[in-house]
Structure 1
Amino acid sequence: MDSCVEEMLDSYIGEGLGGVRVVGICGMGGMGKTTLAREIYRRISSKFEARSFIANIREETKNQGLVSLQKQLLSKILMESEINIWDVCEGINVIRNTLCNKNVFIILDDVDGDEQLEALAGKHDWFGPGSRIIVTSRDSHLLIRCGVDYIYIAKELNNDDALQLFSWKAFHKPHPEENYVNLSMDFVNYAKGLPLALKVLGSSLFAKRSNEWKSALYKLKKEEPNRKFLDILQIGFDGLTNLQKGLFLDIACFFKGENKDCKRDILESFCCSLDYDIGVLMDKSLITIDDYGTLWMHDLLQVMGQEIVRRESPKEPGGRSRLWIYDDVIHVLKNNSILDALKLMDLSDSQCLIEIPDLSGALKLKQLILRHCTRLYKIHTSLGDLKQLIQLDLNGCKCLEILPHKISLEALEIFDLGGCSRLKKFPEIVGNMLHLLKLCLSETAIKDLPLSMEHLTGLIKLDLRDYKNLSSLSNGCCCSKSLEILTLSGCSKLDTLPKNLGNIEGLEELDLSGTAITRLPLSVVHLKNLKRCYNPNRFTYLTIPRSEIPNWFRHQNVGASVNLQVPSHLLFSSKFMGIAVCIVYIFRQHHPLHQLHIHHFRGTICTHSLLCSVEANGFRYSPVWLPLMEEFGKIELYHLWLEYFPYKAHFERHHKEELDANEFTQIKVTFESFGPGLEVTKCGAHLIFEQDIKDLNQTKPGSSSCSITPYYEDDDLGDSEKDTKIKECRDDEATHPEWTKHPNLIEN
């Protein structure tokens, strides 16, 4: 490798010379073109004003398109995450105008089409003096046509370099063990100087005994003299466990170029130790994962994997374990072939697919993925009886109207109907589907959910986002005690929640934004695990069982009032949004209902109530009431009430002249309780600024490592004043709330 790099640097790259130079690296697959380019990039890229390595261009062009590659090129050079380009022509103009005066070093890896170079490095004058562009390709004629200045032909490694590369993989050092020298040379001779073959063979023999080496060598020798290169690569595959072999074949057939974490659910349904087994495949040089978590493998290894699957049934696709070629799938479906071996079928984005016929022969089918098949309207009733089906993904099938009337999918774990906008009826669930973990019905036209939803007792995530026809939830939806996430955002007709909502003991996140709900049912007190409630626009409070004020409340006090001293000008800053307040309260005494005075408050029956008022320099703003029933407090727990005062709805009504902008404003938050036995024990307040919301939007919900620094109201204080205030705060009060548009979020 060193000699190849030195030759490139001395005779082709022309370091330090003026002008723009485009250099091609050409050779067959497996020759180490990308490895050579990466090593050159590592050595000299820092000497340039800007740099970019664009990998897997052939594959990325198929999957993402040329515009995505143009954005990637500019993003890496300019160090900007957002690049606005709408078409290839615009991208060409942006690249030319942006880079024409910059000294850049760019590597374009695995180019196989003229249009790719024309879109990314069409002419020399796109780049500033001294720029260097390296293009790797298997097609020398392409490089000549596109005006490359110099072409380096990648050669097979000589015996010394080949033995060194093999030894690094087989022994983790540059030379073989003493007793393995002759065996190593035998394998090196079989690889014929091809770097990919040397890597795979060496990795497959690492830490193996000599008898295992001899067995592998015998297997190579018994192949026909004109054996294919793929047979050499298969030595690495043969050393895997069955689960690891299946994972490799899944990546080869379906998931090359996909993000590992985005496909984790699918991969884990076949491979229970996913991260470990992916590590094994990487150790054996069979796959790589880039900085973005994308799964990659050399295309020759992909061909080998697909060939292994094809050999399962050379003449009849229906006898293969995986189907990924559209024509093969159509052949199988049209001819109702026996599908005994089929485990995974992925027909995503098949625009000609209209109907899925009888699948009763696919008894071992575990994954059926039909994402964005936009003309698919009907699925055969046999689907409902696939006992081994783990994932059914119909997301984005916007013409789908007909599903089986009944389903009994005992093994199903993931069911995604999101975006099936014409689907009006959800199937009846026959028997217990205990394994279903995730159900997505977002953006569907389903009118009513069946009572049989109560059979989904293992459900963890239910997504009903933008379910426009949903006006009520059946009690059956609240039968899964294991449900952790319930998303109802955008269900604009939904105005009430089931009274048995409290049965969902495991509920942690409830999203009600964009609904017509104005209150939670009394049974919410049972939701002891509830951490986040995203509330709709008309619903600005939350009450849950909790005995402590959340740590992020900057100002806390024992009792029923808390005082804040704030620089007045901050209250009129465009960054100021409002005040969050909260209290802990408890029913100290309980009374029979007939002994209590029953009130009617805005259509709500109550026996007790709490009032929250905010004063600024003696001016009192409109108070907020919380009506309560003593039944609500029969469970002897402390409860937390959290309320939000938006700035525009409260403080902006008070004239600025009445608050001296050069002085501090004294804000007092007071809570009053009405009704026997109701007591306020603690209270807190926190000013909310625009930056708090921005920080939240950049923080994934559920992150336990949130370290957002809030915009505090004393940021504009003098140093001495600020030091005094900081000393008054506990250390744990500086943590930041994970806030929402209406900051009604509870989290300790």
Structure 2
Amino acid sequence: MQSRVQYVHNKLSSVEVKDTTRILGIFGVGGVGKTTLAKEIYNSFLNQFQYSCFLANVRETSEQGKVLIRLQETLLREILGDSSLKVQNEDEGMGLIKKMLLSKKVLLLLDDVDQLSQVEKLLGDCDRLGDWLGLGSLIIITTRDEGLLTNYNVHLPYKMKELYQDEARRLFCWNAFKKEEPSQGFAELTENFLRYAGGLPLALKVLGSYLYKREEIKFWEDALEKYKRILPDDIQGKLRIGYDGLEESEKNIFLDIACFFAGEREEYSLITIDEYQCINMHDLLKVMGKEIVRKESDKDPGKRTRLWFHEDVRYVLEQNKGTNNIEGILIDLRPKEDLIHLSPGAFEKMPNLRVLINRNALFSKLPNYFSDKLRVLDFYNYHGTSLPSNFNGKNLVDLRMTMCKLKSLGNKFKNFQNLKLLIFEECDFLNIIPDTSGLPNLKQLSISRCVRLVEVDQSIGSHGNLVQLTIDNCPKLNSFPSSFNSRSLKFLTVNRCGSQLSFPEIGLEIKCLQVFGWNFTGLKELPPTGNLTQPRYLNLEVKESNTKLTDYLRLRNLRPSKLDSSKFTNCFSTLVNLYLLGSTFVILPGWMDRFVRLRRLCLSQCKKLKKIEVLPPNIESVDAVGCTSLESFPEISKRFEFNTSNLSELHSINLYGCSKMLVNVGSHVAAILRPQPQKRPRNEGLLFPGNKIPNWFDHCKETSSSCSSDIFIELLNPSVINGILTCAVFTYTHEVEFDQLFFISITVNYDGRRLGIIDKTHCLKASDGQHVWLDFYDLEPFTLAKGSLQIRFECNSNGTLLKHCGVHLVRNDEKNAKSYYSDYSDSENDDDEECYSHSEDDDDEEYYSMDDNLEDGDKD
């Protein structure tokens, strides 16, 4: 595999990237190792990109309904670092991707694509990629369809072939023996199995895993004899080897997964679990499983155990050809062919039906019978107001109803004693969730966009096994549990529901709650959270004083009297992000240092804030954008001028628009801004008012108000470089909106070869005067020989111009810090006049004047 990685890497590296976006397409049969190669290529380029995203299983995800939206969300969240970002529809997602990623150089892997539309809804048209992504981006696509790559004009197509003999041996041995060579006495048998695997990675994994810990040579010999009955070139037969080794119950699980499911937890070599705890089953294994089912009856679908092919499903339901054999049906019809003329009594002929999943079919008649053996009922557009009267439901485990006309579940709801998962989505006529005390095994209740829902029974608040309760966009909901005391509850979110809902009491029994959300639901003040012992994610949106608590607490427009430490007693040891936006306090409370895990503090638009004197001990980032009264922030001097602060993690401060602040920066700032791998991968740098580059910078340039600038450095002697500290002074040419995004990109080239890139985005508001931005590009220590180093600055925001640029090479022998004062006054002692400029329009007094016009009640 490594030789393939090196070959493709060299191909990609040989392409000029300055003015283009590279696209690599890897194609080949299922199971040949396309994804493995793509991951290796992705990782080999990872350190060259500030922004990267790996979208796995695009095809399978896209088949599950609305999941292209999920992929769009994942892409935006990974690139922008915003885990709360939501996409409502595919068109909105395309617009956001185009807007937000336009100036960013992105490394993106799309794994297992099978339709051109999937790529286009994530990246747009190939001929217009420059309108979607920043130049220099690298896109990697894996697919079985070579034609798809041709249609998308992929620059570098690569056909993935079977493994070479030595690669196959290593892969097989790692799975069979957990080492690179076979154990003593198994060398010859290993070579025999390699011949049967034919170099297909998936087959090697399945065979090796099947034989793992089978230490009897006779077992291997017997298995080999068994395999000889399977044609060597029959990949399906080889994959079935692992299946034949399963117990009967395990075979049933495997076939259910192959034909219907993703999400079960199993630990056999035929399936794997992804990072989202969902089952991944390779395409060939799915095909194999379906072929096993098909051969149960070659000519009569009604005699098979499982149906999924749309023609077979239609035939059985319309021609009334069901039998006792049928255990599961997946209905997924072609577009514009979604009407099924249901034969009367069609379901009555299937009394052993365990699984019924209808993804998109419309029925001409209402089903009048469901088997009492049903364990999974997932139904789209069920147009009855209740379930069939003869349906017992005692075996039902999973009930999901989408766009159905159910008004209630009726009295039989209490019979669903095995029910674990209950989901209602867009059921416009559902008006009540009744008493759930008769559902002792219920673990998840999710209700979304049920516009007539008015009541959720009080019993759900004390349910003994409930783990997750989610209610979203139910605007008429006005009756809800007044308290929650469930020991098992981990996730509780209520979003955009009735404005009259009262905030529930959180009982003392709540020990496990990790995610708690109450958003846009009429909350008028911050409620007590004292009984929450471990609120990893508490998200409260307060009307007129917008609130979020989690790892994360967001308070908007908060008055000083409301910022009471007693509200957060049990959050001091868990809170990670604290947002105090637009609040009117003058001094940051002294008890802030009690948030021992707090990493990020946002004080944006706190226009009356004058002093920040105490910060949490492990704080990493402070955002004070628009704090126009801020004049005292001692930790800035301690940390960035004198390097005496105890806040060793503090590395990012944003003082955009804080015109009264005087900022001092020493050359040791490079060590502070240098990102620490795995600890803070997305460093935001320093941003503060100012109009010049620090005078200790090695190389400075005035740009005459342009959007880009290059600094060239001729290296006359070999130099050991640890990193590059960059600085830019910028200004706005006209008024911009509050949510204006400021993009700056810095590219580092050495003798025409790109070493790396910094892409940063800040969300800013229009402000008078110029601002300084400092950041660090990290390099592993290495020696640069004689040659030319080029650092290119690009500002890609409307109305934003660069005034000055600077570069400081950080070497092993970096000397002690010098200081830099960012005031607007001229300095007679500055040695490098080129490094700064003074504008006659800048007002010196603005830095030092005091705003005494405070409202009553807001003074110290």
- What is residue 808 of structure 2 aligned with on the other side? none
How far the C-alpha of 1:235 sits from its partner, in A, is 1.2
Does residue 2 (structure 1) correspond to residue 6 (structure 2)? The answer is: no
Q: What is the letter of the counterpart of residue 220 of structure 2?
A: W
Aligned-residue CA RMSD (Å): 5.7
Percent identity, aligned pairs only, is: 30
C-alpha distance in structure 2 between counterparts of 1:193 and 1:164, whole Å: 11
Q: What is the letter of the counterpart of residue 218 of structure 2?
A: N
SS for the counterpart of 2:243 is helix
SS for the counterpart of 1:388 is coil
Q: Contact 1:465/1:491 (CA < 8 Å) preserved in 2? A: no
C-alpha distance in structure 2 between counterparts of 1:334 and 1:67, whole Å: 34
Larger deviation, residues 409-418 vs 712-721: 712-721
Larger deviation, residues 436-445 vs 531-540: 531-540
- What is residue 171 of structure 2 aligned with on the other side? 165
SS for the counterpart of 1:429 is helix
C-alpha distance in structure 2 between counterparts of 1:505 and 1:297, whole Å: 36
Please give the TM-score of this superposition, normalised by the length of structure 2.
Answer: 0.52
- What is residue 396 of structure 2 aligned with on the other side? 412
CA 1:206–1:496: 2 relative to 1, 3 Å: closer
Q: Contact 1:505/1:528 (CA < 8 Å) preserved in 2? A: no
- What is residue 514 of structure 1 aligned with on the other side? 498
Larger deviation, residues 148-157 vs 305-314: 148-157
- What is residue 818 of structure 2 aligned with on the other side? none
How far the C-alpha of 1:176 sits from its partner, in A, is 0.9
- What is residue 353 of structure 2 aligned with on the other side? 365
- What is residue 186 of structure 2 aligned with on the other side? 180
Larger deviation, residues 160-169 vs 123-132: 123-132
Q: Which runs of 5+ in 1 are unaligned?
A: 261-266, 268-273, 553-572, 578-646, 653-660, 668-684, 697-703, 727-748
- What is residue 307 of structure 1 aligned with on the other side? 291
CA displacement, residues 305-357 of structure 1 (integer Å, 9 cap, x when unaligned)? 21122222222222222222222222222333343233332336884246585
Does residue 388 (structure 1) correspond to residue 373 (structure 2)? The answer is: yes
How far the C-alpha of 1:181 sits from its partner, in A, is 0.5
Does residue 33 (structure 1) correspond to residue 40 (structure 2)? The answer is: no
CA 1:539–1:325: 2 relative to 1, 3 Å: same
How far the C-alpha of 1:48 sits from its partner, in A, is 3.2
C-alpha distance in structure 2 between counterparts of 1:244 and 1:72, whole Å: 33
How far the C-alpha of 1:28 sits from its partner, in A, is 2.8
CA 1:709–1:213: 2 relative to 1, 3 Å: same
* Between structures 1 and 2, the one with greater strand share: 2
CA 1:19–1:187: 2 relative to 1, 3 Å: farther
Report 1:509-658 matches (<5 A).
514=498, 550=531
- What is residue 399 of structure 1 aligned with on the other side? 383
Higher RCO (C-alpha 8 Å, min separation 6)? 1
Does residue 339 (structure 1) correspond to residue 323 (structure 2)? The answer is: yes
CA 1:379–1:185: 2 relative to 1, 3 Å: same
Q: What is the letter of the counterpart of residue 142 of structure 2?
A: T
CA 1:364–1:211: 2 relative to 1, 3 Å: farther
- What is residue 152 of structure 1 aligned with on the other side? 158
Report 1:625-704 matches (<5 A).
none
C-alpha distance in structure 2 between counterparts of 1:73 and 1:510, whole Å: 24
- What is residue 291 of structure 1 aligned with on the other side? 275
Q: Contact 1:347/1:371 (CA < 8 Å) preserved in 2? A: yes
CA 1:405–1:715: 2 relative to 1, 3 Å: same
CA displacement, residues 157-205 of structure 1 (integer Å, 9 cap, x when unaligned)? 2222221221111111111112111111001111222222222211221
Q: What is the letter of the counterpart of residue 321 of structure 1?
A: T
SS for the counterpart of 1:179 is coil
- What is residue 207 of structure 1 aligned with on the other side? 213
* Between structures 1 and 2, the one with greater helix share: 1
CA displacement, residues 493-523 of structure 1 (integer Å, 9 cap, x when unaligned)? 97899xxx99x99998999973989999xxx
SS for the counterpart of 2:37 is helix
CA displacement, residues 653-691 of structure 1 (integer Å, 9 cap, x when unaligned)? xxxxxxxx9xxx8x9xxxxxxxxxxxxxxxxx95799xx
Q: Which runs of 5+ in 2 are unaligned?
A: 534-542, 548-555, 597-860
Q: Contact 1:344/1:365 (CA < 8 Å) preserved in 2? A: yes
- What is residue 91 of structure 1 aligned with on the other side? 94
SS for the counterpart of 2:498 is coil
CA 1:11–1:340: 2 relative to 1, 3 Å: same
CA 1:538–1:84: 2 relative to 1, 3 Å: closer
SS for the counterpart of 1:300 is helix
- What is residue 435 of structure 1 aligned with on the other side? 418
CA 1:332–1:172: 2 relative to 1, 3 Å: same
CA 1:387–1:19: 2 relative to 1, 3 Å: same
Report 1:348-497 matches (<5 A).
351-353=338-340, 355=342, 357-358=344-345, 359-370=347-358, 373=361, 375-376=362-363, 378-383=365-370, 386-394=371-379, 397=381, 399-401=383-385, 403-417=387-401, 419-420=403-404, 422-424=405-407, 426-429=409-412, 434-436=417-419, 443=427, 445=429
C-alpha distance in structure 2 between counterparts of 1:481 and 1:135, whole Å: 46
SS for the counterpart of 1:345 is strand
C-alpha distance in structure 1 between counterparts of 2:526 and 2:69, whole Å: 46
CA 1:352–1:549: 2 relative to 1, 3 Å: closer
Looking at CA atoms only, which structure, 1 or 2, has the larger radius of gyration?
1
Does residue 319 (structure 1) correspond to residue 303 (structure 2)? The answer is: yes
SS for the counterpart of 2:44 is helix
Q: What is the letter of the counterpart of residue 312 of structure 1?
A: E
C-alpha distance in structure 1 between counterparts of 2:591 and 2:385, whole Å: 66
Q: What is the letter of the counterpart of residue 412 of structure 2?
A: I
Report 1:42-121 matches (<5 A).
42-63=43-64, 72-81=74-83, 82=85, 91=94, 95=98, 98-99=101-102, 102=105, 104-115=106-117, 120=123
C-alpha distance in structure 2 between counterparts of 1:9 and 1:66, whole Å: 29
C-alpha distance in structure 2 between counterparts of 1:505 and 1:149, whole Å: 56
1:232 alignment partner, one of 225, 230, 238: 238
C-alpha distance in structure 2 between counterparts of 1:187 and 1:342, whole Å: 37
CA 1:242–1:711: 2 relative to 1, 3 Å: farther
- What is residue 196 of structure 1 aligned with on the other side? 202
CA 1:50–1:338: 2 relative to 1, 3 Å: closer
Q: What is the letter of the counterpart of residue 356 of structure 2?
A: L
SS for the counterpart of 1:52 is strand
How far the C-alpha of 1:229 sits from its partner, in A, is 0.7
Across the two proteins, how many residue pairs are aligned to each other?
A: 555
